[in-house]
Amino acid sequence: MPYSGSSMTEQAGQFTCSVVAYSVGNALGATTAEVARALEAGRTGLAPCRLDLPFETATGALPDALPALPKALARWDSRVGRIAALVFDGLAGPVAAAVRRWGADRVAVVVGTSTGGILETERALGEQASLGRLPDGFDLQRQHAFHGLLEVVRELAGARGPAWVVSTACSSSAKVLGSARRLLRSGLADAVLVGGADSLCLTTLRGFGSLQALSSRPCRPFAAQRDGTSIGEGAAFVLLERGADGPARLLGVGESSDAHHMSHPHPEGAGAVAAMAGALAQSGLDGAAVDYVNAHGTATPANDAIEARAIVQVVGTGAAVASTKGYTGHLLGAAGITEAVFAVLAIERSYVPESLGATPLDPAVAVDVVRAGRRVPVRYALSNSFAFGGNNASVVLGAP
């Protein structure tokens, strides 16, 4: 039976957290418009990996050359910072308006990442190995450390409110939405810029490869022949305000930490169930109200089967379910916020994208996997992000 509420439900009308504006960029395109067109066209951004690896895999990559950071931010230069700056540009106007409206001290910034500037350190260590010295200008604290990404985003936004980084692997930038909701609800901020960014790097790809979790071809979530995930890079940002008008509302965020295993999901999906049920409780919704589930859907055999069973337990079988990792790859620390934006797009455009590569479907998957894009009304959407170590987050978004 679908989840049917709990004592955690908030009173209707007690608190409204609105998505005012958003921006997203990844292998599908550098702008929100390009990404949205690719989703509706059912076009993947995955291609053979361009990095030097001892195995074959597909990745979702942005162009190798990205615009440099503004001169004032040059000391923080990194690929992840450049990705963040590129995507933030699509949100610069609304954020500047929020800073003017509320004041810089009342605009908070919370970002998620899992790789940070590891790519810069890999390059620096490579140069040290070949030339006997680190590159001129390399700064571990500014280019590798996660706060380097935060400094870039804060400076671009002109925000001076509370600011921090969340790093819980693949749920990082879903959990930032929970942080933002608490900041707004407590009155510690009037607007919160949330986001996530990660870049491709050898450490991550070799790590997933060592776990035998990568497919040699574009990943196929929920497919009978799925054999692993694909990794991608990208960023997304969302501007949230209390009680404002916007394309969607952030209704609830459920977070759990089942700590079952370092890399394997709980066999009964306990953490996933708890996160989804918590998000629905905070939203005041029954599971049957959900129209669309953007599944975590990594295309690994264990994850998809366990997540599908958890969705049936909490939501039932009436919602359309799709994983968008067949388009972008798994964006790691940027996945949660990117897929929350995809849920907002589904609400705005009344369109649920195809779950690429799901045919033929795994017969053990009992949810309604979308195998051809659907033009249907979406009033409530649930987006899942489940991470290593059992760090789970689910987000419920609703129409205005």
Residue 261 annotated in active site: no
Paired strand residues for 242: 17
pLDDT band at 154 (very low <50, low <70, confident <90, very high): very high
% of the chain residues with pLDDT over 90: 88
Token pair, residue 133, equals: 């010295």
In this predicted structure, the answer to whether residue 264 has a pLDDT above a threshold of 80 is no
Domain 17-398: which CATH number of 3.30.428.10, 3.40.47.10, 3.30.465.10, 1.10.645.10: 3.40.47.10
How many Cβ atoms are within 10 Å of 139's Cβ, its own excluded? 17
Residue 219 annotated in active site: no
Give the Å distances, CA to CA, from 223 to 296, 321, 341: 14, 13, 24
Which runs of E-coded beta strand occur in 143-208?
Answer: 163-166, 191-198
pLDDT at 137: 85
Domain boundaries, the chain: 17-398
pLDDT at 134: 92
Residue 144 annotated in active site: no
From 49, 144, 266, 330, active-site residue: 330
Name the residue among 35, 18, 91, 39 with its Cα closest to residue 399: 18
Burial class (CB in 10 A: 0-12, 13-18, 19+), 27: buried
Contact 367, 312 (CB under 8 A): yes
Contact 386, 250 (CB under 8 A): no
∠ Cα 114 115 117 (to 5°): 135
Contact 319, 282 (CB under 8 A): no
In this predicted structure, the answer to whether residue 11 has a pLDDT above a threshold of 50 is no
Mean pLDDT of 145-170: 96
From 17, 49, 201, 296, active-site residue: 296
Query: How confident is the model over 205-251, as pLDDT tens digits?
Result: 999 999 999 999 999 999 999 999 999 999 999 999 998 899 999 99
From 17, 170, 201, 219, active-site residue: 170
pLDDT at 260: 67
Query: How confident is the model over 75-112, as pLDDT tens digits?
Result: 999 999 999 999 999 999 999 999 999 999 999 999 99
Average pLDDT, the chain: 94
